Structure 1
Amino acid sequence: MKGKTFRIEFLREKDKDTGVMVTRLTDGVGNSIHPYFTQTLVSEDSKILLIESTRSGRWQLFSLEVDTGLMVQLTDDFNIFPHKSCLDPKKLIAYYWDGRILKSVDLQTLKTEEIYVAPSGFHTGILSLSGDGKYLAFVYSEDLEMSTGTGAQYSQMLEHLYRRPTSVIMRVDLKGERIEAVWGEREWISHVNISPVDPDIILFCHEGPWHLVQRMWIVRADTHEIYPILQQKRYLERAGHEYFTRSGKVVTQYSVRETSGSTEWTFFDVIMDTDGTILGKYRYPGPSPTHIQTNPTEDLFVGDGAFPTPEFKDGRDYIGLIRHRDDMCEVRPLCHHGSSWLTQESHPHPIFTPDGKNVIFTSDREGVCNVYMAPVIT
């Protein structure tokens, strides 16, 4: 029920491998996750976290005070899809999809407003909020019936890619309530991110296996100009899980191989300006994490994988801290996450709190998804 409160008793355990004290922030009632790692999810003072949980029977939004354990149910809707929500960290307003309806909810008053309705026959993407809180950007894509799904993650990805669904990138002016189509094409578009420093710059991707697409693109909302960044050699190069840093740089995970039949990839973090100028390229000693994120001062990274040496075989089970030094990635395990990776919801997706002091991640290591926090010890 909207407005219902819960008092969560945090569980703290010392990580058996690193000695770091890890706090379980949710209590295992239903599945609880934090929204997608590219979006704003934590209040500016690092005290309130936006949570998505099924503890009330279906996916709803909750706020969680990380100091007190006070959890408040923010919504009571019927068709909230996990990972698509975001939080205005200053105004404490959450934005989310209830089916095709874009809504907002005030974390303090619980007032809900309807902002926009996507057209029928299309499904909606992750919401991205500009740094000034004035704009939301997202994509809606044609809802196509697929024939190759097995229930496993990504089993329909190739078919979805080759079907080339109509996709339209939208930007909503939350002040003036102006809604505009920024770009559209017959391509599978996702991962829309609006720049935190210039709301006219929107980063998006052509979805699909990373080595089969030109992944990363920029569209300018003021001119509708689009252009690719980090241009790839198909079959030999791949990039993805791109995001903006706080200062407006673009970070992506990149890898390259010598031939299209090779299974030996070399992994890098790449940092770019939005014009495509490469500012840094840093090689991993082994495999890279699946997802990475940057701290507020942009001198430390976190990933849901930690391979400090090529010989370290269990790195997929760890949250890792990453520093860039002399064109290399220095990797150190922070703690064990132990997630199964079997569903999108169980992906750890680690993020930093805005004060840079803690890492938040998701894991289903206890049978259901919970949200965890570990201190950043460098």
Structure 2
Amino acid sequence: MRRITVSVLVGIQVLSVCFCSKAQQVMETGSQKPMPQEWIDKDTGHRIKRISLSEGSNASFYFHNNPFLKQKKIEGNVMVYYNTDAKNNKQLCTVNLKTLKTEQLTDNASPKKGELLAPKHREAFYQSNDSIFATSIDTKKTRLVYVFPKDIRGSITTLNADETLLGGSFAGPEKDEIYRKYPEKSDYFNRIYDAKIPHTLFTVNLKTGELKEIHQENTWLGHIQFSPTDPDLLMFCHEGPWHKVDRIWTYNMKSGKVKKMHTRTVENEIAGHEFFSPDGKTIWFDQQVPRSVAFYLTGTDVTTGKEKQYQIDRNEWSIHFNVSSDQKLFAGDGGDQGQVAKAEDGMWVYLFRPEGNRLKSERLVNMRHHYYRLEPNVHFSPDGKWVIFRANFEGESQVYAVEIEKSGKKLGATY
């Protein structure tokens, strides 16, 4: 028995060596379909791995939604993602970022939306029609959390820091009618903004099952996020054309106070795609003063309102930015010429290092074969060594990790 075990281990080591050797191919990212599971981007020198191995289309979470569950011991951190199979059934899955082992969490054909992970209770929350469910990452058991009343078409988008409240919004029926008549964003976006439809922010108490309406305005409310550290602080935005709105606001659950986090200072200034820092002390956002002219990643101190600006070049502008857990690095997912920056050479996944009042960029992935209608939505891995993103340069959407350290220094793969 021992001889067989040793033989198997030797075989695994040989396969591992062969795989790593093959993985070091230097290639143009997206130059062939399919790509190997691992390669080095010839334009950047960084190693890229495909980490979604489920058949079909795979998509990582939106940039400000945490998809990671940290390991209990040394078994490997887990990332939750969505898989869509050939029958268009959408399921939640996990991938172990150390072993790349994938597991399917859900197995029903009902439609699913919501990207909410409860790391303390080790559950993934999602919504199917009028019902909210939670599935255990470890046991795969699913429980019904809440069913909306028939007169409320609510959607959940966030979970607070102590995992006691879900947050979301609902709107008047006029909004659904606009969506029905004008399904393309370019057609519905301004119409919803101009309609001044009543929108309501709500919470669902996970202990009592109570739905509570907490804030209402006759304007489009969205991008709702709880602070990652303060269970009583909720951020939301005034949706619409960014140059027409002071977009970023917070709501205090205890006092009911609404606070504007940034006021535009010149005509056509924009600020948006806001997200909390990991310690909850800063709200970061894409700022352009004015629109499409000067580009910044700006952070507002949640308590004092003091702002910190980092300037970037036009080509470095990204649809979404993110920050590492130690808050020393930023990442961006770039953009094509159809985006607001009109960048001639912006189709890259970027790493940024603060230097004074600027961000110094490093290109991680050449995205010239990616169609930017799918937003890459960058995340830093829990260990801070990789940037995880989604892309369609192989045809279907898949999830990839690019190593921050340039290739050639080590072959081991940990996340």
Whether 1:22 aligns to 2:48 is yes
Asked if structure 2 preserves the Cα contact closer than 8 Å seen for 1:30 and 1:55, the reply is yes
Once residues 134 and 373 of structure 1 are traced to their aligned partners in structure 2, the CA distance between those partners, rounded to angstroms, is 32
The alignment partner of 2:328 has SS state of: coil
Number of the residue aligned with 1:265:
293
Q: 1:181 offset after TM fit, Å?
A: 2.0
- 1:179-209 per-residue CA deviation (whole Å, 9 max, x = no partner) reads 3222122211111111122111110001112
Residue 44 (structure 1) aligned to one of 62, 70, 88: 70
Once residues 210 and 39 of structure 1 are traced to their aligned partners in structure 2, the CA distance between those partners, rounded to angstroms, is 22
Write the mapping of 1:231-250 to structure 2, written as runs, cut at 5 A. Answer: 231-233=263-265, 235-248=267-280, 249-250=282-283
**Closer, same or farther: CA 377–199 of 1 in aligned 2, 3 Å:** same
The more displaced of 21-30 and 321-330 is: 21-30
The more displaced of 203-212 and 124-133 is: 124-133
Once residues 247 and 137 of structure 1 are traced to their aligned partners in structure 2, the CA distance between those partners, rounded to angstroms, is 20
Residue 254 (structure 1) aligned to one of 250, 264, 287: 287
Asked if structure 1 preserves the Cα contact closer than 8 Å seen for 2:292 and 2:342, the reply is no
Asked if structure 1 preserves the Cα contact closer than 8 Å seen for 2:201 and 2:215, the reply is yes
Write the mapping of 1:50-65 to structure 2, written as runs, cut at 5 A. Answer: 50-55=80-85, 57=87, 58-65=89-96
- 1:321-369 per-residue CA deviation (whole Å, 9 max, x = no partner) reads 1122211111111112342122xxx210001122212111000111110
The alignment partner of 1:356 has SS state of: coil
Q: List alignment gaps of at least 5 residues for structure 2.
A: 1-18, 20-35, 407-415
Q: Which amino acid aligns with 2:203?
A: R
Q: 1:214 offset after TM fit, Å?
A: 1.5
Number of the residue aligned with 2:344:
313
Q: List alignment gaps of at least 5 residues for structure 1.
A: 1-8, 258-262
Whether 1:329 aligns to 2:355 is no
Q: 1:78 offset after TM fit, Å?
A: 1.2
Once residues 393 and 54 of structure 2 are traced to their aligned partners in structure 1, the CA distance between those partners, rounded to angstroms, is 11
Once residues 229 and 368 of structure 1 are traced to their aligned partners in structure 2, the CA distance between those partners, rounded to angstroms, is 38
Q: 1:126 offset after TM fit, Å?
A: 5.3
Number of the residue aligned with 1:69:
100
Q: Larger Cα Rg: Structure 1 or Structure 2?
A: 2
Asked if structure 1 preserves the Cα contact closer than 8 Å seen for 2:126 and 2:132, the reply is yes
Write the mapping of 1:139-218 to structure 2, written as runs, cut at 5 A. Answer: 139-142=169-172, 143-146=175-178, 152-218=184-250
Whether 1:12 aligns to 2:38 is yes
Once residues 17 and 151 of structure 1 are traced to their aligned partners in structure 2, the CA distance between those partners, rounded to angstroms, is 38
Q: How big is the alpha-carbon RMSD for the aligned residues of Structure 1 and Structure 2?
A: 2.6
Q: Which amino acid aligns with 1:42?
A: F
Whether 1:355 aligns to 2:403 is no
Q: 1:277 offset after TM fit, Å?
A: 1.3
The alignment partner of 2:192 has SS state of: helix
Q: Which amino acid aligns with 1:224?
A: G
The alignment partner of 1:136 has SS state of: strand
Asked if structure 2 preserves the Cα contact closer than 8 Å seen for 1:353 and 1:359, the reply is yes
Asked if structure 2 preserves the Cα contact closer than 8 Å seen for 1:229 and 1:276, the reply is no
Number of the residue aligned with 2:26:
none
Q: Percent identity?
A: 25
The more displaced of 97-106 and 10-19 is: 10-19
Number of the residue aligned with 2:3:
none
**Closer, same or farther: CA 36–147 of 1 in aligned 2, 3 Å:** closer
> Normalised by the size of structure 1, how large is the TM-score?
0.86
Q: 1:100 offset after TM fit, Å?
A: 2.3
**Closer, same or farther: CA 357–133 of 1 in aligned 2, 3 Å:** farther
Once residues 381 and 153 of structure 2 are traced to their aligned partners in structure 1, the CA distance between those partners, rounded to angstroms, is 30
Write the mapping of 1:271-282 to structure 2, written as runs, cut at 5 A. Answer: 271-275=299-303, 277-282=305-310
**Closer, same or farther: CA 227–174 of 1 in aligned 2, 3 Å:** same
Number of the residue aligned with 1:5:
none
**Closer, same or farther: CA 225–311 of 1 in aligned 2, 3 Å:** closer
> Normalised by the size of structure 2, how large is the TM-score?
0.79
Once residues 360 and 120 of structure 1 are traced to their aligned partners in structure 2, the CA distance between those partners, rounded to angstroms, is 39
Q: 1:77 offset after TM fit, Å?
A: 4.2
Q: 1:218 offset after TM fit, Å?
A: 0.8
Write the mapping of 1:66-105 to structure 2, written as runs, cut at 5 A. Answer: 66-75=97-106, 76-81=108-113, 84-105=114-135
Q: Which amino acid aligns with 2:169?
A: V
Asked if structure 1 preserves the Cα contact closer than 8 Å seen for 2:266 and 2:289, the reply is no
More helix by share: 2
The more displaced of 43-52 and 202-211 is: 43-52
